[in-house]
Amino acid sequence: MKQMIFFLCLFMTCAGVHAQEQTSPWTLEECVDYAREHNLNLALSYLDQRAANTEARRTRHSRWPSLSASSNFGYNFGRTIDPTSNEFITTGLGFNSISVNSGLTLFNYNRINNSIRQAGIDQQVAALNYEQSELDLSLQIANLYLNALLAKENEKIAETQYKNVENQLDRTSRLVQSGAQPKAAEYELRAELAAQKQQWVNAENNAYLALLQLKQALQLEIDTPFDIAAPPADVQVESMEVRSVTEIFERSLATQPVYRAAEMNVQSARLGRKISQSAFFPSLSLGLNVNSNYSTQGRFLEGTELQTQRVPAQFQGEMGELTFLSASPTFVTPGWLEQMDNNLGFGFALQLGIPIYSNYNNRANVQQAKIQRLRAERQLDLQEQTIRIDVERAVADLRAASKSYEASQSAFEAAQIAFENTQKQFDLGSASAFDFFQSQQRLQSAQLQMSVSKYDYLFRQKIVDFYLGNPIKL
């Protein structure tokens, strides 16, 4: 009973923690960690890494001797040869043989050693590809996360604008009732309120779709409660002028797994050419064999037995007997273990292989390996060029986003001051509804632009952190 109560309490505790994880807002770090654990593409990359590890282990074991055993059992009828005595017999014969074989490569022009080194490099390449997949996934999740934050902030802006127009409509209605404002002002505000409601609904739908895209990227169930945590209120715009493009580029070459993988692919391709060239040289291998057999008709000589034979005979007219003594061999049929021990045999052989003509296969393999090496070198150059271009664009985009964010802040502050002044004039009746709507539209546009610039700057900063090898977080 106590155990049942304990497990019930444990289940309720786990369920409570799980529910809390389901309903609490997700941070960017939590989204990235969850994606790394559940992303299917990343799981496939992990399987590629495991396959490379298995291949590396297989090649390391290729330098050791091979060992195999075989056995067979059968029954022959009619005239056959007894495997234990090599004699023809005409009776039924049951037989059993056992063989153990081993082989070892003594020389093959470093083919095994180079294969082991190549498999080790390919193992590291698979690990680097998995690491690169993790980084790419983190950047993808960060992009979707920031898009969702932008959509949610735009929704809040639209809601705030709707409530502002609603409050202004209440004040205007009271002014219309008192005769301080014309009825047309109330009609115009009602039309503006409907337009703001539509914008709010659109922003709400965009926020839902942005969260849905992030949830799908995380591969969560559709009915799982999901929300994201709000970032810090203030975004610190740090100047990137202290870091030049060359500095970030050199850092990215040392930190980006995709570039290090391209470097190791060149080494692997060079070893591949050496492996293909080894086919032009002789190979020497050693083979060992242990075998034995058993036969139901197997027998061996145990000794001889003297037998007396009497034959009637007549000599000089008198009858008598001739006595003959003859030696007759005696045989014994041994058991299975005894026959196996008696028939045990050993052997070894050296095998020398000298390639003379292989229908152009060996030369074609060398040419293919050379082309693969050139392709790997060009791929390395292309990867370096791609990283340089991406870094230059990332730094330029970050600087532009920083300036755009600062400018949008100034524009928002100016639009906010102008709107507050127009609102006061509208309340006093010195400004028309058209002027009020224009000022409000400018404020809303400036606020949206500042929000877009803010999250664009955040994402550009994450890209630069990506090339610097820094963890992606807010």
The helix (H) or strand (E) run that includes residue 336 is: helix 336-342
8 A C-beta contact, residue 449 and residue 415:
no
8 A C-beta contact, residue 102 and residue 272:
no
Which residue in 428, 376, 448 sits closest to 121, CA to CA?
A: 376
In this prediction, residue 224 has a pLDDT band, given cuts at 50, 70 and 90, of confident
Which residue in 158, 155, 241, 169 sits closest to 206, CA to CA?
A: 155
Structure tokens at 118: 């190549």
Q: CA 437 to CA 173: how far, in whole Å?
A: 16
Q: Which of 108-122, 223-237, 417-431 has the lowest mean pLDDT?
A: 223-237
State which of 64-73, 234-243, 299-308 shows the largest mean pLDDT: 64-73
In this prediction, residue 175 has a pLDDT band, given cuts at 50, 70 and 90, of confident
Phi/psi at 63 (nearest 5 deg)? -80, -15
Neighbours of 287 (CB within 10 A): 15
Q: What is the pLDDT of residue 179?
A: 77
DSSP letters, 392-439, are HHHHHHHHHHHHHHHHHHHHHHHHHHHHHHHHHHHHHTSS-HHHHHHH
Q: Is the model's pLDDT at 435 over the cut of 70? A: yes
Q: Is the model's pLDDT at 9 over the cut of 50? A: no
For 53, 86, 324, the CA distances from 304, given in Å and listed in that order, are: 67, 22, 16
Q: Is the model's pLDDT at 7 over the cut of 50? A: no
- Is 90 strand, coil or helix? coil
Q: Is 86 left (phi over 0), alpha (psi -120 to 50) or beta?
A: left
Long-range contacts of the stretch 120-125 (C-beta < 8 A, 24+):
120/56, 121/264, 121/267, 121/268, 121/271, 122/52, 122/55, 122/56, 122/268, 123/52, 123/53, 123/55, 123/56, 124/264, 125/52, 125/261, 125/264, 125/265, 125/268
The helix (H) or strand (E) run that includes residue 253 is: helix 245-255
**What tens digit of pLDDT does each residue of 118-144 get?**
999 999 999 999 999 999 999 999 999
Q: Which of 193-197, 209-213, 371-375 has the lowest mean pLDDT?
A: 193-197
Q: What is the pLDDT of residue 1?
A: 40
- Is 289 strand, coil or helix? strand
Helix axes 361-428, 245-255, angle to 10 degrees: 130
Structure tokens at 437: 């709507």
Q: What is the pLDDT of residue 20?
A: 40
Neighbours of 206 (CB within 10 A): 18
Q: Is the model's pLDDT at 327 over the cut of 80? A: no
Helix axes 28-38, 183-218, angle to 10 degrees: 40
Structure tokens at 215: 């949830």
8 A C-beta contact, residue 172 and residue 185:
yes
Q: Is the model's pLDDT at 10 over the cut of 60? A: no
Average pLDDT, the chain: 85
Whether this prediction's pTM lies above 0.85 is answered by no
The angle at the Cα of 274, spanning 272 to 278, to the nearest 5 degrees, equals: 115
Which residue in 144, 149, 130 sits closest to 32, CA to CA?
A: 144
- Beta-bridged to residue 76, according to DSSP, are 93
Q: CA 61 to CA 252: how far, in whole Å?
A: 37
- Please list, in sequence order, all residues whose beta carbon lies within 8 angstroms of the beta carbon of residue 150, skipping any fewer than 6 positions away: 210, 451, 452, 455
**What tens digit of pLDDT does each residue of 249-263 get?**
999 999 999 999 999
Which residue in 315, 303, 278, 348 sits closest to 108, CA to CA?
A: 278
